[in-house]
Structure 1
Amino acid sequence: MSNTAHAAASTATAAEHNPTEQEQALQAHFQPHVSVDEIEQVFHLKRAQPLLQVFTALFHGGFESVLVRLLVLRELANDTTSSAFSRADINTRLAYLLPESLETVLMRLRTNGLLAWDTQQGVYRVTPMARNVLSSIDALLTLGQDHDEAEMGFLLSQVAGAQAVGGVTSEQLQHLLGRLTDLTDEFRDAIASGSEFRLRESQAKWHTACDWVEKGSEILRAITSDENADAATHRAAQAIGRAQSSLLNMQGMFSRALNQIERQRVHLGQSGLSTTDIKRWLLAHPDLASLAEDAIEQPVKPLFITPAEMIDVAETELMAERVAVVASGLPSGEDAPLTVSEDQDMQRELDDWLARLSDFATLNNFPSIADESPRDIKVHEALLPASFAVASYRASMLPLLGDEGEASLQGATAELARLPLQFAPTDMMVQLDDMEVAAMTLARLSLDLNDSDKAAS
């Protein structure tokens, strides 16, 4: 073996036993008994070091520096008339920047592989990696401007794009699954809070999330039916399907929580205003402190006195009140004001609706028992004829049918939940020939024969 070979072998052996400064700095963040190379995620991240260094070059430093770098790179990448740019072309296109700042940005982009310098032709070229990075950033910026309250658009677009080219990974699906889990926990916390405003806000976000779930169902079906996908991808897709089902089933939870708040709403006398109206008005007021302006003519002036003087004043005030009570005697009686309770009307309407459904659920009265009759009827035939307010109140009670949680309680709503009836709504609307209700969601009301047999036995 030659001296050169011996030197190369010695250098390789030294490199194996003497880790680089970068590896030593990375190892300093871990426990002494843990080796960095034993962690799988560290391996994947180290393998992607060139790409991560590109993001570091773009986003390192203050926001102003990051903005200027992205501005220069986007301006050059958006020019599709030519793939090469001379320094004179760049100076002309970016003439609104100072020459010193432009030179600094070009040097940084060129050093980190975002711009390539052609020495022979003396021109700059945008590298493919730079276009990939800009494409991902533009997609994130575009989806961030679409008022996506559920914040699922970008994650779902990544899964859809990867599925279209046959490269979806379990990591991408795990990100989507994590977001669905976060939304489910957020909605459950909102329901448990009992706050009407938080419930309304979460319900709006829930509708947005359901729209994304509907768009992503076809993608998940394609992934689960793909024979070439690995087991981890299949498991992640199935977990996403279960998370979506759990998310969609929260509609009844929102309805029950809002109905409970509606029953407990407090109205201020006969004014028609409720505490919710007052809170909404206060939240819409830009400056609550300004409401106290001109409410007090003079500021409060504290008086500093000794404890002995405080006792004398307190004793005088106490004796004066006693004398006044003895002299005046008891006040004359007055008739209590006559008020109309709205709860009685609501309870009477609930009792009538419960009696009607109970009679409807009786086995001998249900039309499906006859051979020539259908096994179910349309809901609007059961709700009408009635006024709009009564029909709306009856319709709001239908989701309680078959609810096990409500059926375990006491009261009229619990009796309603225990009726052997099934409520099946759809997304279609039906036009009605009614004086009060012009249209209504198409739904059906059917008798659960199994529950009827159990009740009869």
Structure 2
Amino acid sequence: MTDQDFADYLAPGYVADDVPELSALAAARPVVGTFISLFRGTEAEVLLRLLVLREIGHDTDSPRWSPDALRRRFAYLDAVKLETVLKRLREHNLLSFGDDGHYHLSDPGRNAVAALGMLLRFDDTEDAELGFLTAQLAGLQATGSVNAEALGHLLSKLNDLTLHFEDAIASGSEFRIVESRQRLSANGKWLDRGTEILRQLLADPEAPFDVARIAQRIGLAQSRLARVDAAFQRALNKIETQRVTLGSSGISSSDVGLWLRRQNADTLLAMAQDAITDTADLRLLAGGHELLDRAEVALCDIERSQAQSVEMPPPDAAPAADRPEEEDLRLLTHFTGRLNTLREDAPLHDLIGGGGFHHAAYRMSLLAMLADASGTSEEGPVGEFLKIPMDVIFEDTLVDVGADEIARMTRGIVRPRTSNIND
């Protein structure tokens, strides 16, 4: 297989080596070729090849078959068609013909039949894909060859199941919810088996990072699926409250819906012929009193809309302000001057007092801001306050005040810096 084989399928400027995923498949040509030769042709031809391969590999005690034995085993097949099938299987290395004149399965043929047999063994109620992926993962774990790709397939399937179940719940259909719940219950053993595999993977300290990461995501997906059953039950309980029973017959609306679902299209069409009209008779929808009430409401709405004025008021000039409003900083400037005259240590509660609780709280916040200020670049009254050479020291104890609406407060000292005293 060369780049020329892909020339018609790749975009201009690309070759097969530019697509790593395509190169990996091209490198597995023998395996891919096995399935191509097995499944190419009509459906009847494919089924006949699978039939012959499975029967040849079915007898474990005598895996080699003579041509006469095969003709007797497949006596129900046309002899010419049987020879054609055997010839194709032999030419494509699915069936081997030994020097002793006997047929037997080749290794690629046995692998293909085994993989197909794994899929055919699942029940109709089970999810064949989930069972196959879980069984495949268990086999890889047993041989110590679990990889991120196999885990990724299982994660994708679990996420797809979650979306399917959420759609069933959102639909509000009792039949879809019951069907989805049965599907979840049928796959319970595969979910449990997958949980066991994940526990062993995550408990392995030498597991590769990409394998452990996907295994954790699979665990989260399985946790969401475990909560779906409770969501199914809540949805069914809600539907139960809305179910209608037809008189005292014991037949509910769900029974009627189930019976209708079992009927074919012709039966439903015959039932609906005289039950559905193309146009509704408006006289059946409203009587004279109802029409009069509606007309009165509509007339009142028309009169009300005409009476309302829709004109905009005339424009008016906005009043001009003499000067922009300024923040009242008189208390700040007064407190700044008071601190500038301080030459020795002063108790904190003495400095903030005066004017009641609100003024004291404001001075307390200013001193706390002064204690945290370092290299400030503020301008104006606030900048002048923060540049005062003063240290504010807060202690861990409380002091009784009993004045200016303050009972107790944090003990502290306001201390002028040495450079300021010397000046």
Q: Normalising by the residue count of structure 1, what TM-score does the alignment of the two structures yield?
A: 0.55
Question: 2:83 corresponds to which residue?
Answer: 103
Q: Gaps spanning 5+ residues in structure 1: where? A: 1-19, 301-321, 323-457
1:279 and 2:238 aligned? no
* Paired AA for residue 91 in structure 1: R
* Paired AA for residue 152 in structure 2: Q
1:132 and 2:106 aligned? no
2:187 alignment partner, SS class: helix
Cα distance change on mapping 1:284 and 1:235 into 2, 3 Å: same
2:11 alignment partner, SS class: coil
Question: 1:314 corresponds to which residue?
Answer: none
Structure 1: distance between partners of 2:116 and 2:218:
25
Structure 1: distance between partners of 2:64 and 2:242:
70
Greater Rg by CA: 2
Aligned pairs, number = 278
Question: 1:78 corresponds to which residue?
Answer: 58
Question: 2:8 corresponds to which residue?
Answer: 28
* Paired AA for residue 44 in structure 1: A
* Paired AA for residue 156 in structure 2: G
Question: Deviations 1:199-234 (Å, cap 9, x if unpaired)?
Answer: 222222222334421222111111222344322221
Pairwise CA RMSD of aligned residues?
3.1
Cα distance change on mapping 1:290 and 1:252 into 2, 3 Å: closer
Q: How many Å apart are 1:89 and its aligned residue?
A: 3.5
- Structure 1 counterpart of 2:211, from 222, 233, 254: 233
Structure 2: distance between partners of 1:251 and 1:206:
8
Structure 2: distance between partners of 1:37 and 1:272:
69
CA contact (8 A) 1:156 1:216 kept: yes
- Structure 1 counterpart of 2:226, from 228, 244, 248: 248
* Paired AA for residue 234 in structure 1: A
Question: 1:171 corresponds to which residue?
Answer: 149
CA contact (8 A) 1:152 1:212 kept: yes
Q: How many Å apart are 1:62 and its aligned residue?
A: 0.6
1:168 alignment partner, SS class: coil
Q: How does 1:384-395 map to 2 (within 5 A)?
A: none
Q: How many Å apart are 1:167 and its aligned residue?
A: 1.9
1:161 alignment partner, SS class: helix
2:97 alignment partner, SS class: strand
Question: Deviations 1:231-284 (Å, cap 9, x if unpaired)?
Answer: 222122111101000111223322332232233334445655443232223223
Question: Deviations 1:367-419 (Å, cap 9, x if unpaired)?
Answer: xxxxxxxxxxxxxxxxxxxxxxxxxxxxxxxxxxxxxxxxxxxxxxxxxxxxx
Q: How many Å apart are 1:83 and its aligned residue?
A: 4.4
CA contact (8 A) 1:150 1:183 kept: no
Higher mean C-alpha deviation, range 185-194 or range 254-263: 254-263
Cα distance change on mapping 1:233 and 1:179 into 2, 3 Å: same
Cα distance change on mapping 1:273 and 1:93 into 2, 3 Å: closer
Cα distance change on mapping 1:258 and 1:110 into 2, 3 Å: same
1:148 alignment partner, SS class: coil
- Structure 2 counterpart of 1:59, from 15, 36, 39: 39
Q: How many Å apart are 1:98 and its aligned residue?
A: 2.8
Structure 2: distance between partners of 1:78 and 1:135:
10
Q: How many Å apart are 1:42 and its aligned residue?
A: 1.2
CA contact (8 A) 2:159 2:221 kept: yes
* Paired AA for residue 93 in structure 1: R
Q: Gaps spanning 5+ residues in structure 2: where? A: 278-287, 289-423
Q: How many Å apart are 1:184 and its aligned residue?
A: 0.5
1:152 alignment partner, SS class: helix
Cα distance change on mapping 1:124 and 1:214 into 2, 3 Å: closer
Structure 1: distance between partners of 2:66 and 2:96:
12
CA contact (8 A) 2:119 2:128 kept: no
1:125 alignment partner, SS class: strand
Cα distance change on mapping 1:228 and 1:117 into 2, 3 Å: farther
Q: How many Å apart are 1:27 and its aligned residue?
A: 3.1
Q: How does 1:301-312 map to 2 (within 5 A)?
A: none
Q: How does 1:183-332 map to 2 (within 5 A)?
A: 183-268=161-246, 273-285=251-263, 289=267, 292=270
CA contact (8 A) 1:184 1:247 kept: yes
